[in-house]
């Protein structure tokens, strides 16, 4: 590969493309309005898309401001690839909408340069072949025409490619690429046509708030009163958010690609985009040459202060970083391996531009804790593909109060307090960038920034051989390696990592429960042992990571009653399982609520849901000070003792009666256990008798030690809990339950109190549920039992019924008591009855299954009640 002689080694380089339009140049001289209902900050592809979609919804009072010219941030140097399929169906839907929008714009007065050339993804290892077949299954569930093609078909579509080492590939004919700057100007033109005002060369100096809401944007051209601010600042987004005290965890990463001189003559054909994740590279056509980039293992952050906080220079507009050839050498070598013509290609330019990445590679969208302050940032180098969908989601969120889709994994509220640390954010972001193209095997755990949040019993877990997972910064026990004899290593000559056949455990007996394929990679016999111990005696689980939220004050009962679909303001000590809903009746949270005093409630929710659920409660709390909402997760340890012997084992440790008459199911009491004062709640997530025991954190180590030393108790981990909840039919928020699902569809109608006598004043989402009850539901969550117990689902697999894909698996796994492979999916309501035959597609193969009962284990709930 040859470089042009005028390649300059300067630290930063100005770029003249694109030229501002006459309208842009003139915008500086025009008077800035003194008021706009909505102010969008940032004139890249995100900001213009938000403005475009607000205008398309009929919102005329929109002002977009940018510190320089449109596209002068990360947008102008984006590679412009437009891929649609992602593991997440919501993001796939957003990207698919982007393609539909770009097609429409291409036919209009301001075409964005969209080229629908198709896209190829290569597979060069057996596991990568399995991955692309899994992706084909995802595509079927979202209606994308993704197909598997052979290496020879790859050559036919992309003649410059060498297929050495290529085993297979996928092809999506509706993928393509777009000119990022032209797209931005096209969206801007549409926004203006809809009534929006765009003011370039307008620098934001500050944002004012009053009573927790934005009121004014201050600029170097005057102040603008407003009701809503949308931070679309790209790599400047975190700095903008700091003006109102909001943390946006993102890191500017140096991302490079090069553009070659012509490699083939113009012949009227278009090369598809090409991704080779095993070699960490991607390609697309650029005029007659190629644009090639990748995700190197030795990444580089940019513009971080000594404390790792983003510090992008104030004058960094329309500029690039210096070429970093040493860091790009491996990517270049890989590109030559895939496209040999790259070795002798002339180089037009090497582009090194900063892109804002988040710690989990998901967008950062939604309303912050400051009312009216929205964020649309952290596009992680795939914002061009998602820009259309981002704009639509954000417009709906701003105008309707809800995004209309399940975007909880993109919601700015997902980030817990530790992401306020720039150092932690950097560690996670760098790891995420450097593993961008890695295969996401089940059970994959992130390593950066660990350990961070620790249970009081952590030292005990370590000393007893715990194997940890991490969620929301918490170290959580997956299982204890010593709870089952380890499996011997594979015989010499066996394929490394092979998990397709049953392996032999201790004593030479084959472990017949090891699932086939990827689900077997992470198989641990200890999980089955912990499962069995809980079902037959008692299991002890550390749930200290569960999020705990205190709601107190004279208005507390009114608030929780309004937000919860079930009756929760009952007697002191009563525990209620309930959902919090949005106005559409969708499930925003799945929680238990304990009334601990007349004006005090304790909300327990999932580890990863705490920050979001806290924000939901605070958003709806009155501003008169009558309600206090506080996160107390770290203040309390929580241990669950579950199993048929739980009462007998716990009783000698407390003077309080645990009898059914004195301590019924779904009640909570303050008692002592050993030397420790605890709040005991008689609840379960495994379908067995038992209690969750919460205590102040300083007592946690002593309480755990007391319980773990009981004869007949087996400490266990979260993977055993997962297998038991699957058998029992308990739902999980974020997979089985989402904001797009209502309680009747999810089989949780028993948690809904529509009668005014039960809930005077109603609750949020009640009107929507009244309509649902009157009209009926079109789908229901069904338990599927696969005929082959070793064919285990990982999630998102297609479900076939009568020769068509009708659903996707929401969650799945193996039930060790019922000895069956279990999956859940939303089927057409009329076919969600027990006995209905279906098929589940795993890695391209269909497996017979049928709808089972709602709960495979103890369907009458007798064991829960002891």
Q: What is the 3-state secondary structure (H, E, C) of 688-737?
A: CCEEEEEEEHHHHHHHHHHHHCCCCEEECCHHHHHHHHHHHCCCCECCCE
pTM of the full structure: 0.93
Whether pLDDT at 14 is above 80: no
Mean pLDDT of 2-17: 39
Beta strands of 155-312 (E only): which ranges?
A: 168-172, 176-177, 197-199, 204-210, 213-219, 222-225, 228-231, 251-260, 273-276, 281-286, 289-294
Q: Which two tokens stand for residue 697?
A: 């954190």
Radius of gyration of the chain (CA): 28
Looking at residue 142, what is its pLDDT?
96
d(CA 408, CA 615): 12
Residue 491 confidence class, pLDDT cut points 50, 70, 90: very low
Q: Which two tokens stand for residue 379?
A: 């596009």
Residues facing residue 39 across a β-bridge? 63, 229
List the strands of the sheet with 228-231, edge to edge. 197-199, 62-65, 38-41, 228-231, 373-377, 364-367
- Cβ-based neighbours of 702, under 8 Å, separated by 6 or more: 674, 675, 676
Which is nearest to 135 in space by CA: 183, 175, 78, 100?
A: 175
**pLDDT tens for residues 593-642?**
999 999 999 999 999 999 999 999 999 999 999 999 999 999 999 999 99
- More confident position, 426 or 266: 426
Report CA dihedral (657, 660, 662, 666) to the nearest 10 degrees. 110
Task: Provide the pLDDT confidence category of residue 326 given band limits of 50, 70 and 90.
Answer: very high
* Res. 513 pLDDT band, cuts 50 70 90: confident
Rounded CA-CA distance 543/251 in Å is 32
Q: Which two tokens stand for residue 76?
A: 């102008």
* Model pLDDT, residue 499: 32
Q: Is the pLDDT of residue 11 over 90?
A: no
Instruction: Convert the pLDDT of each residue in 98-110 to its tens digit.
Output: 999 999 999 999 9
Q: Quick one: pLDDT at residue 484?
A: 87
Instruction: Enter the DSSP assignment of 420.
Output: G
Q: Is 318 helix (H, G, I), strand (E, B) or coil?
A: coil
Q: Determine how β-strand 820-828 pairs with β-strand 804-815.
A: antiparallel
- Answer yes or no: is pLDDT of 7 > 90: no
pLDDT band of 23, cuts 50, 70, 90: very low
Question: Given a cut of 80, is residue 510 above it in pLDDT?
Answer: no
Asked if residue 687 lies in contact with residue 730, where contact means CB atoms within 8 angstroms, the answer is yes
Please work out, in degrees rounded to the nearest 5, the angle formed at the alpha carbon of residue 486 by the alpha carbons of 480 and 489: 140
Give the mean pLDDT of 787-812.
98
Among the listed residues 282, 278, 274, 332, the one whose alpha carbon sits nearest the alpha carbon of residue 165:
278
Please report how many Cα atoms fall inside a 13 Å half-sphere around the Cα of residue 584, on the Cβ side. 15
- The single residue listed with the structure tokens 């929006």 is 196
* 164 CB burial (10 A radius; 0-12, 13-18, 19+): exposed
The arithmetic mean of pLDDT across residues 305-311, rounded, is 94
Give the pLDDT confidence score for residue 506 in this predicted structure: 33
pLDDT of res. 1: 58
Report the distance separating Cα 835 and Cα 852, nearest Å: 6
Residues 351, 255: contact at Cβ < 8 Å?
A: no
Q: 520: which 2 tokens? A: 């077997």
Q: Is the pLDDT of residue 486 over 70?
A: no
Please state the φ and ψ torsions of residue 654, each to the nearest 5 degrees. -140, 145
Going by pLDDT thresholds of 50, 70 and 90, the confidence category of residue 31 is confident
Asked whether 132 and 121 are in contact (CB, 8 A), the reply is yes
Average pLDDT of the residues in 239-249: 98
Quick one: average pLDDT of 762-775?
Answer: 97
Cβ(604)–Cβ(668) below 8 Å: no
- Average pLDDT score over residue span 282-286: 97
For residue 133, give the DSSP letter.
Answer: H
Q: Which residues contact 723 (CB under 8 A, 6 or more apart)?
A: 527, 528, 531, 813, 814, 815, 816
Percent of the chain scoring above 90 in pLDDT = 91
Asked if residue 12 has pLDDT above 90, the reply is: no
Q: How many CB atoms lie within 10 A of CB 670?
A: 12
Which helix H or strand E contains 781, and what residues bound it? strand 779-786
CA distance 27 to 22: 9
Tokens 């008689």 belong to which residue? Answer: 682
Residues 110-166: tens digit of each pLDDT: 999 999 999 999 999 999 999 999 999 999 999 999 999 999 999 999 999 999 999
Question: Which residue do the tokens 């205008």 mark?
Answer: 55
pLDDT class of 465 with cuts at 50, 70, 90: very high
State the average pLDDT for the chain.
93
Yes or no: say if 797 and 804 are a contact pair by the CB < 8 Å rule: no
CA distance 650 to 708: 11
Q: What is the model's pLDDT at position 865? A: 86
**In this predicted structure, what is the pLDDT of residue 494?**
35
Instruction: Check pLDDT > 90 for residue 13.
Output: no
Query: Structure tokens of 122?
Result: 């290569």
Distance of CA 610 to the CA centre of its chain: 14
Query: Is the pLDDT at 27 greater than 80, yes or no?
Result: no
Region 346-354: mean pLDDT is: 96
Q: Read off the pLDDT of each residue in 66-94 and give the average, rounded to a whole number.
A: 96
Cα 610 to Cα 548, 549, 696, 718: the distances in Å are: 7, 8, 18, 18
Q: What angle do CA 231, 399, 101 make, to 5 degrees?
A: 75
Measured CA to CA, the distance from residue 98 to residue 114 in angstroms comes to: 11
Q: Tell me the per-residue pLDDT of 827-845, one tens digit each, with 9 for 90 and over.
A: 999 999 999 999 999 999 9
**Could you give the C-alpha distances from 811 to 411, 540, 612, 794, 825, in angstroms and in order?**
21, 24, 21, 7, 8
> Residue 501: its pLDDT value, please?
36
Distances, alpha carbon 530 to alpha carbons 37, 373, 475, in Å = 57, 47, 19
State the SS3 of 319-346. EEECCCHHHHHHHHHHHHHHCHHHHHCE
Q: How far apart are CA 265 and CA 288, in angstroms?
A: 7
Predicted pLDDT at 224:
98
Tell me: pLDDT of 471 over 90. Answer: yes
Residue 276 has pLDDT above 50, yes or no: yes
pLDDT of residue 25 exceeding 60, the answer is no
Q: What is the pLDDT of residue 702?
A: 98
């Amino acid at each position: 590969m040859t470089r042009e002689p005028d390649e300059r080694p300067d630290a930063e380089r100005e770029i003249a493309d694109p030229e501002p339009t006459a309208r842009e140049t003139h915008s500086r001289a025009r008077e800035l309005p003194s008021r706009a209902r909505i102010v969008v900050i940032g004139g890249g592809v995100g900001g213009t898309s938000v403005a475009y979609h607000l205008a398309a919804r009929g919102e005329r009072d929109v002002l977009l401001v940018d510190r320089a010219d449109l596209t002068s941030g990360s947008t102008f140097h984006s590679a412009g690839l437009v891929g649609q399929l992602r593991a997440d169906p919501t993001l796939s839907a957003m990207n698919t909408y982007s393609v539909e929008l770009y097609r429409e714009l291409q036919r209009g007065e301001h075409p964005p340069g969209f080229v629908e050339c198709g896209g190829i993804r290569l597979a060069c290892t057996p596991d990568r072949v399995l991955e692309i077949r899994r992706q084909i299954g995802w595509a079927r569930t979202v209606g994308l025409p993704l197909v598997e093609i052979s290496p020879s078909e790859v050559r036919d579509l992309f003649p410059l490619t060498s297929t050495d080492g290529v085993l297979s590939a996928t092809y999506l004919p509706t993928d393509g690429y777009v000119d990022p700057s032209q797209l931005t100007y096209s969206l801007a033109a549409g926004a203006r046509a809809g009534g929006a005002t765009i003011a370039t060369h307008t620098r934001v100096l500050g944002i004012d708030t009053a009573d927790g809401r934005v009121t004014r944007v201050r600029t170097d051209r005057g102040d603008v009163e407003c009701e809503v601010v949308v931070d679309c600042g790209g790599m400047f987004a975190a700095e903008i958010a700091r003006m109102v005290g909001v943390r946006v965890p993102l890191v500017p990463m140096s991302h490079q690609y090069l553009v070659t001189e012509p490699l083939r003559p113009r012949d009227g054909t278009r090369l598809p985009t090409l991704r080779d994740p095993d070699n960490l590279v991607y390609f697309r056509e650029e005029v007659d040459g190629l644009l090639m980039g990748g995700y190197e293992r030795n990444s580089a952050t940019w513009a971080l202060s000594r404390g790792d906080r983003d510090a992008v220079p104030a004058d960094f507009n329309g500029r690039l970083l210096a070429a970093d050839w040493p860091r790009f050498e491996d990517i270049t070598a890989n590109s030559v391996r895939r496209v040999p013509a790259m070795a002798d290609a002339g180089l037009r330019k090497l582009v090194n531009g900063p892109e804002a990445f988040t710690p989990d590679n998901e967008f950062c969208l939604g309303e912050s804790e400051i009312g009216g302050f929205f964020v649309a940032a952290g596009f992680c180098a795939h914002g061009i593909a998602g820009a259309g969908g981002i704009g639509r989601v954000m417009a709906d969120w701003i105008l309707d109060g809800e995004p209309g889709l399940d975007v909880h994994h993109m919601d700015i509220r997902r980030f817990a307090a530790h992401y306020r640390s720039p150092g932690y954010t950097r560690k996670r972001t760098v790891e995420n960038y450097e593993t961008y193209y890695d295969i996401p095997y089940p059970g994959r755990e992130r390593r950066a920034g660990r350990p961070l949040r620790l249970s009081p019993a952590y030292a005990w877990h370590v000393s007893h051989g715990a194997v940890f997972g991490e969620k929301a910064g918490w170290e959580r026990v997956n299982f204890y390696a010593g709870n089952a004899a380890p499996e011997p290593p594979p015989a010499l000559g066996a394929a490394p990592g092979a998990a397709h056949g049953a392996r032999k455990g201790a004593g030479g007996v084959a472990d017949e429960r090891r699932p086939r394929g990827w689900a077997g990679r992470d198989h641990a016999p200890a999980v089955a042992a912990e499962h069995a111990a809980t079902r037959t005696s008692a299991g002890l689980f550390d749930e200290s990571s569960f999020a705990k939220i205190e709601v107190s004050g004279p208005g507390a009962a009114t608030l929780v009653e309004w937000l919860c679909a079930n009756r929760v303001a009952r007697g002191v000590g009563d525990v209620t399982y309930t959902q919090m809903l949005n106005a559409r009746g969708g499930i925003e949270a799945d929680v238990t609520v304990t009334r601990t005093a007349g004006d005090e409630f304790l909300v327990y929710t999932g580890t990863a849901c705490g920050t979001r659920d806290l924000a939901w409660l605070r958003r709806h709390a009155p501003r008169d000070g009558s309600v206090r909402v506080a996160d107390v997760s770290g203040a309390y340890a929580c241990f669950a003792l579950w199993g048929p012997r739980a009462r007998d084992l716990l009783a000698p440790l407390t003077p309080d009666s645990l009898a059914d008459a004195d301590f019924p199911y779904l009640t909570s009491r303050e008692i002592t256990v050993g030397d420790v004062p605890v709040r005991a709640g008689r609840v379960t997530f495994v379908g067995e008798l038992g209690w969750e025991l919460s205590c102040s954190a300083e007592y946690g180590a002593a309480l755990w030690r007391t319980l773990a030393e009981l004869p007949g108790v087996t400490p266990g981990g979260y993977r055993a809990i997962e297998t038991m909840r699957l058998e029992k039919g308990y739902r999980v928020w974020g997979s089985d339950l989402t904001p797009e699902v209502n309680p009747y569809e999810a089989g949780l109608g028993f948690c809904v109190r529509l009668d005014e006598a039960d809930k005077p004043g109603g609750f949020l989402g009640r009107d929507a549920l009244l309509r649902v009850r009157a009209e009926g539901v079109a789908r229901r969550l069904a338990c599927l039992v696969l005929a082959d117990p070793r064919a285990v689902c990982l999630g998102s697999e297609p479900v076939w019924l009568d020769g068509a894909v009708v659903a996707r698996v929401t969650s799945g796994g193996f039930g060790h008591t019922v000895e069956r492979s279990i999956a859940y999916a939303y089927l057409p309501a009329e076919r969600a009855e027990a006995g209905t035959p279906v098929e589940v597609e795993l890695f391209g193969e269909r497996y017979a299954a049928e709808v089972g009962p709602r709960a495979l284990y103890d369907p009458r709930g007798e064991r829960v009640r002891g």
